[in-house]
Amino acid sequence: MIRYTFFAAIILVILSGCKEQVESPDKIDSYPVILPDYVGVTIPASIAPLNFTFENEKFEKIDVAIKGKKSGEIHIQDKEVAQFPIKDWSNLLEANKGSEITVTVSLKSDGKWRQHKAFSIYISEFPIDYGLAYRLIAPGYEVYSKMGIYQRDLSSFDQKAIYENTMVPGSCVNCHAFNQNDPATMSLHVRGEHGATMLQIDGKMELYKTKTDSTIASCVYPYWHPSGDYIAYSVNQTKQGFHERHNERIEVFDEASDVVVYDVKKNQLLTSSLLKTDNFETFPVFSPDGRTLYFCSSKKFDIQSGYQNIKYSLCKISFDPETGNFGSVIDTIISSETTGKSISFPRPSFDGKYLMYTQSDYGNFSIWHKEADLYLLNLLDGTSRRMDEVNSDDTESFHDWSSNSRWFVFSSRRGDGLYTRPYIASIDNEGNISKPFLLPQKDPRYYDTSLYSFNVPEFIKAPVDVNARELEKKLLSKERIQMQLR
Amino acid sequence: MIKLLKQFNWLLSLLFGVAVFLFFAFYYQYHLHYQEQLQLFLFTPYYWSDLMSRPGGLADYLGTFFTQFYYYSWSGALIISILLVLLQLGIKKLCNVWADRSLIILPFTFVPSIIIWGILCDENYLLSALIAVLLPLGAALLHLKIKSPVFRIIYIFLALPLLYWLSGGVFWIFGLLCILSEWLYFKQLTKFQWGILFVIVIGCILLPPYVASIFIQYPLRRLWWGISYHRYPVVSPYPLLALWSSIIIIPLLFAFIKGKISRVKNVTFLSTSGIIMVSLFAFFMVKNLADWQKEEIMAYDYYIRTQDWQKIIRMANHKDPNTPLSVTCLNLALSKDGSMGNSMFRYYQNGPEGLLPTFQRDFTSPLMSGEVYYHLGFLNTSMRYAFEAMEALPDYKKSSRAMLRIAEINLLNGEYKVAEKYLKILQHTLFYSKQAEQMLECLGNEQKINANPQWSLLKKYRMKDDFLFSENEKDQMLGLLFVNNQSNKMAFEYLIAYTLLTKDLDHFVQYFPLGKNLGYKEIPAHYQEALLFYWINTGHDVSSLPWSIDPAVVQNYINFAKALASGANVNALSGGFSQTYWYYLQFAGGDPLNYSQNPIY
């Protein structure tokens, strides 16, 4: 007995030696400047641990004590980064759903501890979708290297490749889209010698050739109709220009663009003379009830001399899902002539309350516009506002709603000015928007070393199940279903 | 000699190593510099885990680790020579065990090393291809040390899949070498054990690539061949089959004839003949596989990268550059040397493509032409070219050189956050960390940036007003750049050179006066030639020349015109006039100039 007690005492001494007590720290009356900035953010209870570190402060040891307002606590110490055990973290968030946790950070340097003012992280009552699907690609010009479409489980750090272009060398993969975040109905596009548009509905994969003799280009920017029977596309003759002034890089513009809707069951592309004009029409999306098609439209200008005049308005046209017919009138919801700005990526929330869009000075490829910000159109009262809660001095661009319309993910270049990172924020019943948080990574320094941009982050309700070998085989075969124009 | 070899048979290995070292250090060094810049080895856990997450990961990791030492040609050459000697020693060991310690065999143990030496002369075969064969060979030699047959079978069972992950597609030679060792050396296995061994070897060779294909998104063909042996993923590296098979065939061949070898009496003659044969094989192998034209272009590339303009001009004086990229490098060197207007037509010119090559979606041309844009002050275009070159690398290895340039331009552009990102990555390299540290100190510090004369100049030259760069209107781009800063002499000279190379003399005459405040003491020779030609061929008289043209130039032109009028052809004129602009106008760079007025000749 004495021997056991002795061993137990030794083990206790060893264990206690693992975590040093933060004794008599110097109190600092400010919040810590942590990387990523998670101070005061609102998160879903199922999110992976918000691991963090300090970018500009040197320290020998970091001590983080987290206490739930309702119950539970976590205490960790490390030399470089604060990394929380997933299970403990998950239990803590679950126990404090609808409440908050308080994070106290202490740093030790030169043998002395200093303690920052404790900050809160709010745990939303609203759940978030299973994960995100995004493309990882270097923010390049015309040439592309290794890239792929990946899925990330939001409750852990697990990232899996859905499809990587290493499978068919020289190919480019983009335009992944899911029907209201349901991966059972999805599409993606592969460009290159073996290019095709892949549709996978309830596990059945088909490859399509979307360019027809009567349309100006292949179908891009897909958006599924809520019924799953249609996909809205635009067909764009896209070109790139390269800025020579030092703080600009790339301009992507369309020389021509139209909007079409693909009838999945009848293999027919539907269009209307109103959507196929000399003007530019692009970025079509369906309303949640499937009876309205929103899109962006701009007058045509000469690219070289007048590219800065190309400004897109937000428009809509009615759509009849029963017949596949379009209305006879186009309504301009937000006119570029009124705002003097250009709209891209309209995305209605699934509850029908809002439509989020990106606004920049001109053009439609807002990711290369530092002034691009997110805006929120209230569809119930028609008012629109800049989302200052989430915007930054740098680019905000693509965005997507969670299934319950309580969360949205958006891409931003605020981190380093070039490499796009995904941020998530919440919106409550009254339209209040929380401070966004960067998608957490196991090592919080990940984004500083990654040479990939997170492109087109989309929520997914469940894991995406694409057989990459089957896709490879189908891509390498010549078999394609030709889309037909009605 | 043979006595000497008997006592010191390692001497041949040493001599071979020295030969390899001398070749790569002094005759083929620019290939090494070229390879070094097309990868980015990082001392980080991420880099390790990224490469180790796929078959052949360790060979790839070690390959890129050692390739970074190509930064200095001598260290790169030393590494290659050591690895080739290790391969030879491995083969020698196998021959000793399977056959005999005969001096007749010794020269032939060099054959696989010579084959890979020749293969490595192709810049797209990577060092990992060599390391990948050393791993299974080393494992096969370890197999010889295990005395128990059962343990040997267990070892093979465990090592084969592991070797697939470590060395990639070549892992199968380990299985084959082990079977042959069992058959030729150990001779201990029972029939049952042989059965087990065959099942294990066949299973462990067939299964790993298929299993890997479930988790790794590469074509099955590449999982069989190996991912990292060749820079291009679409290339099946067939020449490596010669190497792989030689590793098995050479020892096997001597194992079969070891009885005959032991009975040979004239060992001295046969071994000397063997040495001569293998030496000749090495000579012809390397002679035929080394690409000296590429080596020359890579030399030009190396010297524009290191900004050794005089070296480039000396190279051109020694041998006229005749490829578009080497002409591009020479023109840049002439411009930086201040002798473009006087000398550019003394060398071969291939038109405007030799001045500012059209953008190519590859990893070589943009790196070189990006240097021209950098020195001109087209910083964004230079950065774009560097980025594109880095992204175009088919093995996704990134490029240390390109990343340094991208970081530098972001620093000059005031994009400090993204510059910092690249520089912090470069801090994890061996040979670029110092430059990265120096640049990091400049972040946000304009005073420090401006203290660098080249940076200070480039910041003055870069565009202040925006426009979209047009590949098809390079003269307009150069004009805009010069108008942006009229002290940018290089922009002026490139603009003038562009008009001369495109034979656009109307614009040449229009732009020529823009250079009057650029400090020319006299009109450069080629400009004089062009002005004189234009003046005379637009119906004017020599006596009314509005420019100060050297009378010798006028006389030279009269001689040229007379010779041409008398029917002299390109060969007849090349002796006296090939270094004039008129000769270029008439015979080079596309169609001769066709003026509406009849020329005087």
B318 in contact with A, Cβ within 8 Å = no
| Mean pLDDT in residue range A117-142 | 97
What is the rounded average pLDDT of the residues A230-254? Answer: 92
Quick: pLDDT tens for B220-268.
999 999 999 999 988 999 999 999 999 999 999 999 998 888 888 888 8
User: Residue B601: pLDDT band by 50, 70, 90 thresholds?
Assistant: very low
Q: Cα separation of A87 and A260, whole Å?
A: 47
**CB-CB under 8 Å, B361 with A246:** no
Q: Whose structure tokens read 């074509």?
A: B219
Residue type, A472: E
Decide if B218 and A166 are in contact by the 8 Å CB cutoff. Answer: yes
Q: How far is A402 from chain B (nearest CA, A)?
A: 29
Any chain A CB within 8 A of the CB of B462?
A: yes
> At residue B7, does pLDDT exceed 70?
no
Task: State residue B391 phi and psi, 5-degree precision.
Answer: -75, -25
Q: For B44, name the nearest residue in chain A, comparing CA atoms only.
A: A449
Residue of B nearest to A446 (CA): B46
Q: Is B213 on the interface with A (CB under 8 A)?
A: yes
Categorize the per-residue pLDDT at A318 as very low, low, confident or very high, splitting at 50, 70 and 90.
very high
Cα A111 from Cα B311, distance rounded (Å): 56
Q: Is B103 on the interface with A (CB under 8 A)?
A: no
Q: In this model, does residue B598 exceed pLDDT 50?
A: no
Name the β-bridge partners of A232.
Answer: A223, A261
Asked if B217 has any chain A CB less than 8 Å from its own CB, the reply is yes
Confidence of residue B102 (pLDDT cuts 50, 70, 90): confident
Hey, are the CB atoms on A146 and B396 less than 8 Å from each other?
A: yes
B36 alpha carbon, distance to own chain's centre: 8
Pick from A373, A403, A402: nearest CA to A388? A373
Q: For residue B44, which residues of chain A lie inside 8 Å, CB to CB? A: 449
Q: CA of A232 to nearest chain B CA: how many angstroms apart?
A: 30
Q: Give the nearest partner residue to A138 out of B378, B391, B418, using CB atoms.
A: B391
For residue A17, pLDDT beyond 60:
no
The mean pLDDT of chain A is 94
Helix (H) or strand (E) segment spanning residue B362? none
pLDDT at position B10: 84
- pLDDT higher than 60, residue B145: yes
Residue B595: its pLDDT value, please?
A: 46
Q: Among B465, B468, B480, select the one facing A242 at the smallest CB separation.
A: B468
How far, in Å, CA of A93 to CA of A88, rounded? 9
- What pLDDT, on the 0 to 100 scale, is given for residue A5? 56
pLDDT above 90: percentage of residues in chain A: 90
From chain B, the residues in CB contact with A420 under 8 A are: none
% of chain B with per-residue pLDDT over 90: 85
Nearest to A143 among B388, B464, B469 (CB): B388
B54/B77 Cα distance (integer angstroms): 28
Give contacts of B217 with chain A, Cβ < 8 Å: 148, 161, 163-164, 166-167, 468
Question: Which letter does DSSP use for residue B293 in this model?
Answer: H
Q: What is the pLDDT of residues B440-450, one digit of tens each?
A: 999 999 999 99
User: What is the band of A481 on the pLDDT scale with cuts at 50, 70, 90?
Assistant: very high
Tell me if B413 and A241 make a contact (CB, 8 A cut-off). no
Identify the residue among A35, A136, A137, A143 best suited for mutation to test binding to B, counting B beta carbons within 10 A and taking the highest. A143
CB B365 within 8 A of CB B325: yes
Rounded Cα distance between A377 and A333, Å, is 10
Higher pLDDT, A342 or B574: A342
Q: Is residue B591 very low, low, confident or very high in pLDDT (cuts 50, 70, 90)?
A: low
| Domain architecture of chain A: domains with CATH | 26-123 (2.60.40), 131-476 (2.120.10.30)
pLDDT of B526 strictly over 70:
yes
Whether A245 sits inside 8 A of B463 (CB atoms) is yes
| pLDDT at residue B584 tops 90 | yes
B184 touches chain A (CB under 8 A): no
B49 touches chain A (CB under 8 A): no
A243 to B381: CB separation less than 8 angstroms, yes or no: no
- In this prediction, residue B600 carries a pLDDT of 38
What would the two tokens of residue A221 be?
């920017």
Mind telling me how many Å the CA of B122 is from chain A's nearest CA? 21
Calpha distance A211→A99 (Å, rounded): 52
- Per CB-CB distance under 8 Å, the chain B contacts of A144 are 391
Mutate one of B44, B53, B214, B217 to test the A interface: name it (highest A CB count within 10 A): B217
Cβ of B421 within 8 Å of Cβ of A143? The answer is no
Structural domains in chain B plus CATH codes: 1-38+72-125+238-289 (no CATH), 132-236 (no CATH), 294-461 (1.25.40), 528-601 (no CATH)
With left for phi above 0 and alpha for psi between -120 and 50, is residue A254 left, alpha or beta?
Answer: beta
CB contact under 8 A, A416 and B233: no
- Per-residue pLDDT of B118-136, as tens digits, reads 999 999 999 999 999 999 9
What pLDDT does B596 receive? 41
Query: Which pTM value belongs to this model?
Result: 0.94
What is the average per-residue pLDDT within B317-331?
94
Q: What ipTM was assigned to the predicted interfaces of this complex? A: 0.93
Contact B469 A164 (CB under 8 A): no
What pLDDT is stored for residue A3 in this prediction? 56
DSSP 8-state assignment for residue A52: B
Minimal Cβ distance to A448: which of B217, B396, B421: B421
Whether B460 contacts chain A with CB within 8 A: no
Q: In the Cβ-directed half-sphere of A4, how many Cα atoms lie within 13 Å?
A: 1
Cβ-defined contact of A449 to B424 (cutoff 8 Å): yes
Lowest-confidence segment of A266-270, B73-77, B471-475 by average pLDDT: B471-475
Nearest residue in B to A253, CA atom:
B468
Quote the distance between the C-alpha of residue B504 and its chain's center: 35
Residue A56: is its pLDDT beyond 90?
Answer: no
Question: Helix B149-167 and helix B191-215: axis angle, to 10°?
Answer: 20
* Residue that has been written with the tokens 């990265």 in this structure: B436
| Residue where the block lists tokens 């340097």 | A109
CB contact under 8 A, A418 and B387: no
Query: Are the beta carbons of B469 and A242 separated by less than 8 Å?
Result: yes
Q: What is the pLDDT of residue B59?
A: 98
pLDDT at position A18, please? 62
Q: In this model, does residue B37 exceed pLDDT 60?
A: yes
Distance from CA of A417 to the nearest CA of B (A): 6
Query: Taking Cα atoms as reference points, which of B399, B376, B414 lies closest to residue B493?
Result: B376
Positive or negative CA dihedral for B250, B255, B256, B259? positive
Mean pLDDT of B324-332: 96
Whether B100 contacts chain A with CB within 8 A: no
CB-based contact B468 A304, cutoff 8 Å: yes
In this complex, do B412 and A246 lie within 8 Å of one another by their Cβ atoms? yes
| Per-residue model confidence as pLDDT tens digits over B530-566 | 999 999 989 888 889 999 999 999 999 999 988 888 8
Q: pLDDT tens digit string along A73-86?
A: 999 999 999 999 99
**How high does pLDDT run on average in chain B?**
93
Q: Please tell me the distance in Å from B498's CA to the nearest CA on chain A.
A: 20
List, as own/partner pairs, every contact residues A79-83 make where C-beta atoms lie below 8 angstroms and the sequence separation is at least 24, other chains included: A80/A53, A81/A51, A81/A52, A81/A53, A81/A443, A81/A444, A81/A445, A82/A51, A82/A52, A82/A53, A82/A444, A83/A49, A83/A51, A83/A442, A83/A443
- Closest Cα in chain A to B466: A245
Q: Cis bond leading into B324, ω under 30°?
A: no
Please indicate whether, in this complex, the C-beta atoms of B418 and A418 are within 8 angstroms of each other.
yes
Among B46, B217, B380, the residue with its CB nearest the CB of A244 is: B380
Pairs of residues, one from chain A and one from chain B, whose beta carbons lie less than 8 Å apart: 110
Q: Which of A201-210, B8-17, B426-435 has the lowest mean pLDDT?
A: B8-17
Helices (H) and strands (E) in chain A, counts: 6, 35
* CA-based nearest residue in chain B for residue A307: B468
The confidence score (pLDDT) of residue B599 equals: 39
In sequence order, the 6+-apart residues with CB closer than 8 A to the CB of A262 are A210, A219, A230, A231, A232, A233, A268, A269, A270, A483
Residues B29, B77 contacting (CB under 8 angstroms): yes
As a whole number of angstroms, the distance between CA A131 and CA A105 comes to 29
What's the average model confidence in pLDDT over A94-100? 97
Say if residue B2's pLDDT is above 80. no
Q: Do B469 and A244 touch (CB under 8 A)?
A: yes
